[in-house]
Amino acid sequence: MATVTRENIGLLNDKITVKVSQEDYLPNFDKAVKQFSKNANIPGFRKGMVPAGMIKKMHGPAIFGDEVLKTVEKELMGYVQAEKLDIFGQPLSLEKTAKDLDFNQPAEYTFEFEVGLKPAFEVTPLDNNKTTLTKYKVAVTEEMVNDEVQRLQLKGGKPSEGEAVSTEDDIINVTFEEADAKGNVVEGGIKKETSLLVKYFTEAVQAELKGKKVNESIVIELGKSFDEQRLAWVSKDLGIEAGDKEAAKKHFNLTITKITLIEKRELNEEFFKEVYPADNITTEEAFRTKLREEIAKYWDSESRNHMHNDLFEVLVHETPIELPKDFLKRWLQVGGEKPKTAEEAEKEFPGFDHQLRWTLISDKLVRDNKLEVSFEDLKENAKQKVLGYYGGAAADGAEWLDSYLDRLLQDEKFVDQTYREMITAKLFDWAETKVNVKEEEIKAEEFVNLPHKHHHHEH
């Protein structure tokens, strides 16, 4: 009879020993040999007529090893289930080398495994409103609305060719040619044609470009012509290596090859309908009101995400959970697709630890509070996603929409991801009711510069 015993070897860390004797695995071994001889294709023998002795000679060790391990695994998993052990991942085998399993001398074999046990814990930060979070309310200013009106007017604007550069909204096609500070072209230097909005350049360069006509040039120093973000992508466009610190000092001859003026759209009904096909907007006032609502909605959702992110950090860092660290580091080394070194596991551990704590906490909260997402909810969510993505074109009830949704809902990855997003959102909505929320007015630029925690939950 097989026996399974368990002893504690560390914090939440047990060793499970499985002993199997011949009567546990030999009957299965004989069965497997018979099965094999039924299906074996061996030259000179009719199918199903290969003698068992020959199969044992050729494949005995492999089949024997297989059957012993299968028996051990069955005993091990049976034990874990019977004892209701809540373990991390899979048990780790403590054998460093393969056992010598000799099917000519079947014996009693002992296998040792190590398991990490999930801790029991309480999510204390959600106890009787002991956590206070800030929900920022971003003030929507007239300036924001004006900027958005202008952006949309230009986005839908009509292009026409221009004589000379006149506004920051002009688009210029230019040739960059690497040169010295005086504008003499460097032989074998960088040469690239591209198009840019005038407003992408720094103000000093914009001033120099104003009034310039096609085929006229200016000399620029790369680092002084763009802000940091734009410099990064212009450099990339010019084929400059990302870490090249000297590149910003390079000079270029910038020759204009074409000027495109964008005629701003008039604020009329036709334009309002283009931007918001579903709303019957007829006046500029109503258009601005709608934009203000949309901007407020955007900031509201950003602000909720920010608060949820803070809540996530509080839960992960302040819920007292003890973890079997040493076991988990060993598990990181061997549990993945490819083995890792102890150093790699050590380096990855903090992120892994963070994510693991979140998984434990969120699973517990979902389970304890019976939070669920029905398939109907999931379907409705998927539909809204599609409608949002295709905008007005996806009139509700359109035939293609239903068949498209059916296909989507058969995609396991999509369903799994949507479920995770929805259950996470549900979890945060529920958790929000267990903390104090204080509102605080803030300007958009201050909000953007709030210190962001280093970790984002999947939201």
What is the per-residue pLDDT for 229? 80
Q: What is the pLDDT of residues 187-209, one digit of tens each?
A: 999 999 999 999 999 999 999 99
Q: Which amino acid, 75?
A: E
Phi, psi of 268 (to 5 degrees): -130, 175
Confidence band of 452 (pLDDT split at 50, 70, 90): low
pLDDT at 15 over 70: yes
Cα–Cα distance between 403 and 384 in angstroms, integer?
A: 15
pLDDT at 171 over 90: yes
Taking the complete model, does pTM exceed 0.85, yes or no? no
Q: Which of 365, 380, 376, 374 is nearest to 433 (CA)?
A: 365
Rounded to 10 degrees, what is the CA torsion of 290, 295, 296, 301? 130
Tokens standing for 306? 């920010």
What is the per-residue pLDDT for 252? 95
What is the per-residue pLDDT for 11? 83
- CB atoms inside a 10 Å sphere around CB 46: 7
Cα–Cα distance between 48 and 34 in angstroms, integer?
A: 9
DSSP 73-103: HHHHHHHHHHTT--BSSSPEE--SS-----T
Query: For the chain, what is the largest distance between any 2 Cα atoms, rounded to a whole number of angstroms?
Result: 96
Strands 132-138 and 436-442: what pairing? parallel
SS3 assignment, position 372: coil
Q: What is the pLDDT of residues 318-334, one digit of tens each?
A: 999 999 888 888 888 87
Q: Which helix (H) or strand (E) holds 28?
A: helix 22-39
What is the per-residue pLDDT for 457? 45
Contact present, 432 and 369 (Cβ < 8 Å): no
What is the per-residue pLDDT for 456? 45
Q: What is the pLDDT of residues 126-168, one digit of tens each?
A: 887 788 888 999 999 999 999 999 999 988 888 999 999 999 9
pLDDT at 355 over 50: yes
Alpha-helical runs (H) found in 174-227: 203-209, 222-225
pLDDT at 459 over 50: no
Q: What is the pLDDT of residues 52-93, one digit of tens each?
A: 888 888 888 888 888 898 999 999 999 998 988 888 877 888
Contact present, 321 and 125 (Cβ < 8 Å): no
What the chain holds in terms of domains, given with CATH numbers, is 3-117 (3.30.70.1050), 158-263 (3.10.50), 281-449 (1.10.3120)
Question: HEC profile for 384-446?
Answer: HHHHHHHHHHCCCCCHHHHHHHHHHCCCHHHHHHHHHHHHHHHHHHHHHCCCEEEEEEECHHH
User: Any residues with CB less than 8 A from the CB of 139 and at least 6 apart, and which?
Assistant: 441, 442, 443, 444
Q: What is the pLDDT of residues 387-416, one digit of tens each?
A: 777 765 555 556 777 788 888 888 889 999
